[in-house]
Amino acid sequence: MKPEGEPMDAASSEALATILVVDDSRTIRRILSNALLAAGYAVVQAGNGQEGLDVCRADHPDLVLLDIDMPVLNGLETMRALQSDPELAGIPVLFLTARTSGADVAEGLGLGARDYLRKPCEASELLARVQVALARRQAEMELALKAQELDDLSTTDQLTALGNRRRLDVAVSQLRARHEPELPIGLAMIDIDRFKVINDTMGHLDGDTVLILVARRLRSAVGDDDTLVRWGGEEFLLLRVKPGADSIAETAEEMRASVCRWPLAVGIDLVVNVSVSVGCVTGVLADFDALLAVVDERLYAAKEAGRNCVVGGA
């Protein structure tokens, strides 16, 4: 957000990064912006903390130079607002201050700022501190990405590409951390009918292909917010948050129908008719372990009822 009457700074698509300069002094903004632009950065400006927050929410700059003493919303208040917003908390901040006392700087660093600059500062010092802060942020992002990739790998079933039991454990742990114990949940347990016969007659490689194709059909029948995992062997488990009794039963039926609606093309000259049995239940998060036992019993009841059917609901 630019102050009224001030021209926008140049922003090249090939800029090294976008820097937001937040200072109530137009002169300071101009000096800092010129130095950054000359070094190849794109620059946006704001005249107070509130304007700075608005720019961050709209543009997500790569780094913020934030003055401490400003009207409307000072630097420390702005920093607290940034840290309280999950979408903005990762933006690195360098404080700007003309004060000789270190108390405000210390408080800002305690709030999460990366560094600080005393005004006025040499262009070389400004650019060096900006470069270090951006490099540190880039390293953090790369580390977080690698950690996420490793976590995804450890929670993914390598055959079907669905989640595995660990992913379900993580999902349940996150729900317990974020929600009340009375959070409504629904479970559906799905088992491929007569899968041992498929393995014995077709071989394990074709059996694996059946597992992959069934997993794809089950995935197509559930929502993006649902957690569908390979529970083990030929069993799958669906976790849904805030379902109605009808919702989980209807989805269970959709999953059953999606599998048996058409034969599976296992190979060029090989198709096979496959069905699944499903047990489902609804309850609350606090009873998750008990619900697992219930849904397993209902799956067994579906098998006893002749397979290729759904048992359960509420």
Q: Which residue has the tokens 């062997």?
A: 233
Residue 4 has pLDDT above 50, yes or no: no
What pLDDT does residue 180 have? 95
Read off the pLDDT of residues 192-219 as tens digits, 9 standing for 90 and up.
999 999 999 999 999 999 999 999 999 9
b/e code 20-47 from CB counts within 10 Å (16+ = b):
bbbbbbeebbebbbebbbeeebbbbbbb
Mean pLDDT of 302-312: 96
Does a cis peptide bond (omega within 30 degrees of 0) precede residue 263? no
pLDDT at position 314 is 62
**Among 226, 219, 236, 222, which residue's Cα sits nearest to residue 185?**
226
Q: What is the pLDDT of residues 150-178, one digit of tens each?
A: 877 789 999 999 999 999 999 999 999 99
* pLDDT at residue 101 in the model: 62
Say what the pLDDT of residue 150 is: 80
Q: Tell me how crowded residue 299 is: count the other CB atoms within 10 A of its CB.
A: 24
State residue 313's pLDDT score. Answer: 67
Supply the residues annotated as catalytic: 234
pLDDT of residue 7: 41
Asked whether 238 and 310 are in contact (CB, 8 A), the reply is: no
For residue 235, is pLDDT > 50?
yes
Residue 75: both structure tokens together: 């630097």
CA distance 63 to 75: 14
Size (the chain), residues: 314
Q: At 38, is the pLDDT very low, low, confident or very high (cuts 50, 70, 90)?
A: very high
* 3-class state of residue 124 by DSSP: helix
Residue 146 pLDDT greater than 70, yes or no: yes
Tell me what pLDDT residue 309 has: 97
Taking a C-beta distance cutoff of 8 angstroms, is the pair 253, 137 a contact? no
Average pLDDT across the chain, whole number: 89
With a cut of 50, say whether residue 257 has pLDDT above it.
yes
State what percent of residues in the chain have pLDDT above 70. Answer: 92
More confident residue, 2 or 234: 234
Give me the mean pLDDT over the 287-291 stretch.
97
> pLDDT by residue (tens digit) across 83-113?
999 899 989 999 888 765 667 667 767 877 7
- For residues 234 and 218, give the distance between their C-alpha atoms in angstroms, rounded to a whole number: 12
What's the confidence (pLDDT) of residue 268?
Answer: 81
Nearest-angstrom CA–CA distance, 196 and 89: 52
Q: Which residues contact 120 (CB under 8 A, 6 or more apart)?
A: 28, 31
The tally of CA atoms less than 13 A away on the side-chain side of residue 140 is 11
Q: Which two tokens stand for residue 239?
A: 């976790």
Give yes or no for a contact between 128 and 35, defined as CB atoms under 8 angstroms apart. no
The owner of tokens 């059996």 is 207
Per-residue confidence at 69, pLDDT binned at 50, 70, 90?
Answer: confident
**Cα angle for residues 11, 111, 62 (degrees, 5° grid):** 15
